[in-house]
């Protein structure tokens, strides 16, 4: 029963302060939109990882081909 009483007390405090409602509800949505727009990906990543085939076996050549 104490948990319910704590939750009701928090809801009463939350209802009195409209700034708390702004920060708890609206601002996370605004920040999610801003960061989602800023971090939108352009195209495929241009990172190239070199692979050196020191084994020179058939399986290693096949693996290197699959990586390409």
Q: Where are the domains of the chain?
A: 1-40
Q: Are the C-beta atoms of residues 60 and 53 closer than 8 Å to each other?
A: yes
pTM for the predicted model, two decimal places: 0.41
Which residue has 């495929």 as its token pair?
44
Q: What is the pLDDT of residues 8-63, one digit of tens each?
A: 988 888 788 878 777 878 889 999 999 988 887 766 767 788 888 899 899 999 99
Residue 67 makes CB contacts below 8 A (sequence gap 6+) with 51
- Output the six-digit token pair for 18: 């409209």
């Amino acid at each position: 029963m104490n948990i319910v009483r704590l939750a009701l007390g928090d809801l009463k405090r939350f209802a009195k302060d409209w700034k708390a409602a702004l920060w708890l509800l609206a601002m996370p949505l605004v920040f999610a939109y801003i960061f989602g727009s800023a971090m939108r990906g352009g195209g495929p990543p241009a990172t190239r990882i070199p692979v050196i085939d020191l084994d020179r076996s058939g399986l290693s050549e096949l693996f290197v081909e699959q990586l390409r």
